[in-house]
Amino acid sequence: MDRNTISVGIIGFGTVGSGTAKILLNNKQLLKDRTGIDFNLTKIADLDIARDRGIKIPDGILTTDASEVLNDPKIDIVIELMGGIHPAKDFILKAIRNKKHVITANKALIATAGNEILSDADANEVCVGFEASVAGGIPIIKVLREGLIANNILAIYGIINGTSNYILTKMTNEKVDFSLALKEAQRLGYAEADPTFDIEGIDTAHKLTILSSLSYGIPFLYNDVYKEGITKITAMDIEFAIELGYKIKLLAILKAANSEIEMRVHPTMVPNDYLISKVDGVFNAIYVEGDAVGSTLYYGRGAGDMPTGSAVVADIVDIGERIIRSQKSRVRSQKKAAEFKIRKMEDVDSKYYFRFSALDKPGVLSKISGILGSYNISIASVIQKGRRIGGAVPLVVLTHLAKEKDVTQAIREIDQLPVVSDKTLFIRVEGEEA
């Protein structure tokens, strides 16, 4: 029996839910032309079905009861777009037990409960699509899983949180401080009232967790991701970075080196002539280096109703095609814990930018560089500006490659010097050794 219809139900009629519904309704004929399949939007569940989303939804589709989606025997694919962990997780597990394929844009959920969800899906022989969970409309999941399948992934550098990139861009272009840039981001709707997830690197770490699993066939290991947000970056650091030839970006960094995997999220100084340093505002970009393909980069909108909806619908088509034209999905291979090793943050090698708050007294640089030297941290360049005899001035040092563990200890020691008046700020630096 040939079928050519796929029915989908959406749970969560917010921004992404609206975008997905718009695309399914407006581009229905386009999808049919391209695939031969009718994709029918059968149900949309949300507690609020009264608010106008600017789309005309045909009668009989809206419901306030999620179980109408979860239990409808006609529905092939359940699309979870409500966000949060509960009840989103329960809904997804319920859908899987009901032998429905699942699509979600919920990065927090996949990063923290993805192992359980995917293993349940395997047991029930259904697919879970999460293209929309990383970098909105950029098809980075498909690129990693299929387009670059021939490659060992050597490194990934991602700007995958639009809010923090907007804030850093505004600080860079308008020389304003963090708090002012954050307020503007909130005013424009780019940052939420509680911006913690975005500015503390949590959202970026969720997405990095997902990228790492795809790149290295490892489980989702959110707790192993080192993370550091952008709240301590000042306008002064951004100016020093510019003077040194860098932009400061919140990067998700994934590296494979010496059979260990590095997973870290932190503000990073990126050389001005790297394409990714030019990715500004709310845009996302992911640099991927493969052993065969070399350097590649993928750029686009990381959020928003239509870009994220574009990713959700790509998953709908992929899963729909699979339902209709084949029985089995791709093998999902996953390494056992003994087969890989996550590098501890203290073992990471990096170059560093230090901004010391040093009293303007003779011998300060010599004291500080002495301590750095004793921890095998060698200095690449120094900027010291302005004079305030007896007062504190910023002393900026750029290092060659050093070990994080040594840096932590050196900074601790330096911060106890009587000539150092405030905690030292440091930012990790990417790029070739000069």
Cα angle 301, 306, 308; round to 5: 60
Kind and range of the H or E run holding 208: helix 202-216
By DSSP bridging, strand 392-399 and strand 379-384 are antiparallel
Report the nearest approach of its own copies to the CB of residue 21 (Å): 12
Smallest CA-to-CA distance from 29 within 21, 42, 39, 44 is with: 39
Q: Which of 152, 421, 173 is nearest to 280 (CA)?
A: 173
Does residue 203 contact residue 197 with C-beta atoms inside 8 Å?
yes
With CB under 8 A as the contact rule, the residue among 198, 228, 262, 318 that binds its own copies is 318
Of 143 and 427, the one with the shorter C-beta distance to its own copies is 143
Locate 117 and state its tokens: 């969800």
**b/e burial code for range 346-362 (CB count within 10 A of at least 16 → b):** eebebbbbbbbbbbbee
Residues 99-138 that bind its own copies (CB under 8 A): 131, 137-138
**Quick check: helix, strand or coil at residue 362?**
coil
Using CB under 8 A, pick the residue from 179, 295, 374, 378 that binds its own copies. 295
Report yes or no: 99 and 32 within 8 Å, Cβ to Cβ. no
Find the shortest distance in angstroms from Cβ 41 to its own copies: 13
Asked if 152 interacts with its own copies (CB under 8 A), we say yes
Q: Which of 279, 345, 372, 407 binds its own copies (CB under 8 A)?
A: 279
Question: Cβ closer to its own copies: 81 or 202?
Answer: 81
DSSP state of 57: P
- Separation between Cα atoms, residue 306 and residue 118, nearest integer Å: 26
Instruction: Candidates 27-35, 218-226, 382-390, 408-416: pick the segment binding its own copies (CB under 8 A).
Output: 27-35
β 260-271/226-227 pair status: parallel
Place of tokens 């905690």: 423
Kindly state the greatest CA–CA separation across the chain: 87
Among 53, 207, 264, 301, binds its own copies (CB under 8 A): 301
3-state secondary structure of 111: helix
* The binder of its own copies chosen from 87, 281, 294, 373 (CB under 8 A): 294
Considering only 71, 119, 231, 329, the residue that binds its own copies (CB under 8 A) is 329
Exposure of 329 in the CB half-sphere (CA atoms within 13 A): 19
- Site mask for its own copies (CB under 8 A), range 33-72, x = bound: xxxx------------------------------------
- Among 115-123, 154-162, 250-258, 287-295, the segment contacting its own copies (CB under 8 A): 287-295
Instruction: Using the minimum distance from each CB to its own copies, give the nearer residue, 132 or 167.
Output: 132
Minimum Å gap between C-beta 258 and its own copies is 18
For residue 291, the minimal CB distance to its own copies (Å) is 8
Answer yes or no whether residue 83 interacts with its own copies by CB under 8 A.
no
Task: Classify residue 417 by burial, with Cβ atoms within 10 Å: 0-12, 13-18, 19+.
Answer: middle
Among 10, 16, 31, 103, binds its own copies (CB under 8 A): 31
| Start-to-end CA span in the chain (Å) | 65
CB 366, min distance to its own copies, A: 41
Nearer to its own copies, 57 or 297 (CB): 297
Is 27 a binding residue for its own copies by CB under 8 A? The answer is yes
Which listed range, 23-31, 169-177, 341-349, 402-410, lies at the site for its own copies (CB under 8 A)?
23-31
Closest residue by Cα to residue 269 from 166, 140, 172: 172
- Give, as ranges, the residues between 218 and 277 that touch its own copies (CB under 8 A): 275
Which of 307/394 has CB closer to its own copies?
307
Residue 148 CB neighbour total at 10 angstroms:
20
Q: Is 100 a catalytic residue?
A: no
Residue of 22, 43, 89, 207 marked active site:
207
State both tokens at 114. Answer: 């993805």
Residue of the chain from 84, 217, 281, 370 that contacts its own copies (CB under 8 A): 217
Smallest gap from Cβ 310 to its own copies, in A, equals 4
Q: Which of 200, 202, 175, 170 is nearest to 187 (CA)?
A: 170
**Which residues are the active-site residues?**
207
Contact residues for its own copies, defined by CB under 8 A: 19, 23, 27, 30-31, 33-36, 131, 137-139, 142-143, 146-152, 217, 275, 278-279, 290-301, 304, 306-307, 309-311, 313-314, 317-318, 321-322, 325-331, 333
